[in-house]
Every structure is written in C-alpha cells, then in structure tokens.
Amino acid sequence: MPLLTRERVAEVLRRGDDFRVDEDIAPRFRPGNRVRARNIHPAGHTRLPRYARGREGVVERDHGVFIFPDAHAHGEGKKPQHLYCVRFAARELWGPETNERDFVYIDMWDDYLDPA
C-alpha cells in the first residue's frame, strides 16, 4: 500500500481503505489481562494519548490485526499488529476526585502496551 500523500487523499476518501490485514499474528493479550500503556514520547505521529501513558487498564476486546498507523505514516511499512480496546478507570487517569464508576475505553496497539 503506497503512502497516503496529499495527492491521494481524495482518492482514498472516495474508495476507502481497509487497514485490517490477514496475517496470523498471535495476540500478546487477551480480554481480562491487565496492561500498562507505555510512557513513550516518539517524535512525530502517534495515537497513544498522553493522558494514558504509564497508566494501567484492562483489555476488554481484541479487534484483530491491522496496519500500525504510527509506522505506516512514517513510511516504515505496515508493521501489522493487534489492536485492543483497553478500559481505564477514570480515577487511574485523572485522580481520586473522579467518580469511581466512570471508565474510559481507548483502542491501543500492541506497541503501546506492556503487561501490568
């Protein structure tokens, strides 16, 4: 898949693109696993929210294997990996004043996560 350049944006938006890949890659995590978002600060593109870095959550769902957008945006290839839905307690993200019944769900790539 070629890089998404300014000249290709209209074409891609018209036809769409499927970023799911059909590769047999074993998941590192399963629903119910506790994970910690890595506290990384890469130069350039990332979809790892700053407020989640270094925080613990629980894997809720494995969406399957997709092209890793951080690598793809830099022309580093597809680097396919699992995309997980991770549930974070709002208190874990924003402190004890937050309602204990509130949660935030974030889709996170394998490269963003470590076991907790």
- pLDDT tens, 14-66? 776 678 888 999 999 999 999 999 999 988 778 999 999 999 999 999 999 99
- The phi, psi pair for 67, rounded to 5°, reads -65, 135
Q: Judge whether residue 1 has pLDDT over 60.
A: no
| Beta-sheet pairing, 34-37 with 81-89 | unpaired
- Going from the N-terminus, what domains does the chain have, and what CATH number goes with each? 18-115 (2.30.30.50)
- pLDDT tens, 55-107? 999 999 999 999 998 887 777 888 999 999 999 999 999 999 999 999 999 99
pTM: 0.83
Are the CB atoms for 57 and 105 separated by under 8 Å?
no
Beta strands per DSSP E along 1-116: 34-37, 56-66, 81-89, 103-109, 113-115
Q: What's the pLDDT score for residue 51?
A: 97
Are the CB atoms for 47 and 28 separated by under 8 Å?
no
- The phi, psi pair for 86, rounded to 5°, reads -115, 130
Q: What's the pLDDT score for residue 39?
A: 97
